[in-house]
Amino acid sequence: MNTSRDVEIAVIGAGFAGIATAYYLCTEYQKRSVLLVDSRQPMTYTSAQSGDNYRNWWPHPTMVDFTNYSIDLMQRIALESSNVLHMTRRGYALATRRTDIDDLIAELHAGYGGTESDLIRIHRGPSPKSYPPTRSANWTEAPDGVDVLANQDLIRQTFPTFSPDIANVLHIRRAGDISGQQMGQYMLERIKEAGGKRLSVQVKGIKQNQGFVLEVEGSDGIERINVEMIVNAAGPFAKEIAAMIGVDLPIANVFQQKLAFDDQYGAIPRQLPFSLDLDDQELDWTAEERELLADDPDMAWLLRPIRGGTHCRPDGGDNGTWIKLGWAFNREASEPQQELANDPHFHPQFPEIILRSAAALNPPLKRYSESFPSRWTHYGGYYTMTRENWPLLGPLGVDGAFIASALSGYGSMSACAAGAICAAWMADGDLPAFANQLSLARYDDENLMAEIVNSPSKGIL
Ligand SMILES: Cc1cc2nc3c(=O)[nH]c(=O)nc-3n(C[C@H](O)[C@H](O)[C@H](O)COP(=O)(O)OP(=O)(O)OC[C@H]3O[C@@H](n4cnc5c(N)ncnc54)[C@H](O)[C@@H]3O)c2cc1C
């Protein structure tokens, strides 16, 4: 069947980025002709793989401002919806065995900015009195800023499952987790109420013709849609969509994995914040395992030191029993697969590797290396990212075309800001001061690009 229809705005991709953009177009700017186009059900591709963690901890103030803006917008939704997004705020606990952490403190100051130096509180004594409580998950009760626990007794009292050799913990306070699926659902309902529509089709081609003609394919065959404006929110396929209008995007897809399992032995306290091991480590293999790994050229890398970044958090609230482990160690890009488990970096040994690695920070997890969890799930998806790990939001370089993508490993926490900024570019709304730096325009700023591409830390977790 060959039909055609006219709409004002087509948002290509119903992941978190596309849904949030449509949400702000419909609610903030009262756009009435918005079509959300996706061959999949909403929030079922990358956005379904997210750990749903959020933080305002970044090495550069622009990313701090961007995520703070997003957290402000999430709080607004939490307040108006009785916290439908289940936002909690136990923070991020960044742990290291290093005693000299001057570089980490300098990075905190660089990120949070000189004027915010009072937000970085260093606790050198064993008394927890000056250190605000960590037990409540309620986001309205948590302080802002960072508590640096520089005393091992204080660390042991606060984080009793951490390895005794942890010498410093940086506790980022404006951080926690959300339910991305709940927030996506909430936004979809508001979009529908405002007259926005969804269409289950795949975009096959885009022609420019006083606006755009999308050629799409669904169960009814090929259809043509005449649109004035398009938003490229196609996640890992954003490069493919941009190429349809002759734009080459500087992005790549890097596969990352997670393990979630039922913590049947109660190894991890339910109140533990998102906890991250900052230190590089060599995995703890037996002599026999070492021999086997050394003989396998594909696996021998597991015997060498691997970059830090293993993280762990309880999942499903205080009464749940599951935990999530992650470690974004892959740096090799791949072509995005429709079936995520077909990616060549989907590593069958990942569950075993991550369990060993996570036990270095939380030794009670060692028990699962000896007796594997009985209920578990191993999954993964793409970090769609620029080299500097900053997003692409705003004009796409062709009249009427916009982008909300390259959200890497932070797209759940930043979806609100990404959507609000992209919608503001489209509707001539108010843009935050940093919006230009998050658009393709930043590539014309040689100094900024040199600074962020060469930065030793890009905030990849
Ligand atoms: C393992 C993992 C853990 C993560 N953990 C976190 C975390 O803790 N916190 C956080 O903030 N972020 C996290 N992220 C990142 C976050 O999940 C992503 O940044 C976010 O989901 C990206 O959303 P998106 O809408 O850009 O992409 P997607 O969710 O992939 O949506 C893109 C949509 O576009 C559609 N599409 C593509 N091509 C076409 C086409 N031709 N026609 C029609 N539709 C098309 C796809 O079907 C898809 O539904 C994690 C990511 C991974 C992989």
Tens of pLDDT, residue by residue over 350-370, are 999 999 999 999 999 999 988
pLDDT number for residue 131: 79
Question: Per-residue confidence at 44, pLDDT binned at 50, 70, 90?
Answer: very high
Residue pair 37/380 in contact (Cβ under 8 Å)? The answer is no
Nearest CA to ligand 1 atom 41: 203
The pTM for the full model equals 0.97
Task: Report the chain's C-alpha Rg in angstroms.
Answer: 23
Cα-Cα end-to-end distance for the chain: 46
Ligand 1 geometric centre to CA of 163 (Å) = 34
Which residue, 304, 57, 318, 312, is CA-closest to 175?
57
Q: What is the pLDDT of residue 286?
A: 87
Residue 94 has pLDDT above 80, yes or no: yes
For residue 320, give Cα distances in angstroms to 271, 324, 363: 11, 12, 21
Give the single-character DSSP code of 98: -
Using 50, 70 and 90 to split pLDDT, how confident is the model at 114?
low
Q: Cα dist. 404→21, 250, 317, 414 in Å?
A: 8, 14, 31, 11
- Indicate whether 3 pLDDT > 90: no
What is residue 440's DSSP assignment? G
Per the prediction, the chain carries an average pLDDT of 95
Q: Nearest 5°: CA angle at 405, between 399 and 410?
A: 155
Task: State the pLDDT confidence band at 117, using cuts at 50, 70 and 90.
Answer: low
What pLDDT is recorded for position 298? 76
Q: Could you count the other beta carbons within 10 Å of the beta carbon of residue 17?
A: 33
Mutate to test the pocket of ligand 1, among 11, 44, 46, 239 (most ligand atoms within 8 A of CB): 46
| Under 8 Å between Cβ of 20 and 419 | yes
Position 297 scores a pLDDT of 83
- What is the residue with the minimal CA distance to atom 21 of ligand 1? 47
Q: Is the pLDDT of residue 132 over 90?
A: no
Domains delineated in the chain? 3-52+180-250+387-453 (3.50.50.60), 92-174+253-385 (3.30.9.10)
Give me ligand 1 centre to Cα 16, in Å: 7
Distance 252 CA to ligand 1 centre (A): 13
Token duo for residue 224: 């043509």
Average pLDDT over residues 125-153: 87
Where does the pLDDT of residue 285 fall: very low under 50, low under 70, confident under 90, or very high at 90 and above? confident
| Closest to 380 measured CA to CA, from 426, 346, 407 | 346
Ligand 1 neighbours (beta carbon < 6 A): 12-18, 37-40, 45-47, 49-54, 202-203, 233-237, 241, 256, 258, 380-383, 405, 407-413
**Closest ligand 1 atom number to CA of residue 407:** 19
The whole-number pLDDT of residue 203 equals 98
**125-129, 138-142, 380-384: which has the highest mean pLDDT?**
380-384
pLDDT for residue 293 = 87
Residue 286 CB contacts under 8 Å (≥ 6 apart), including other chains = none
Percent of the chain clearing pLDDT 70 (strictly above): 98
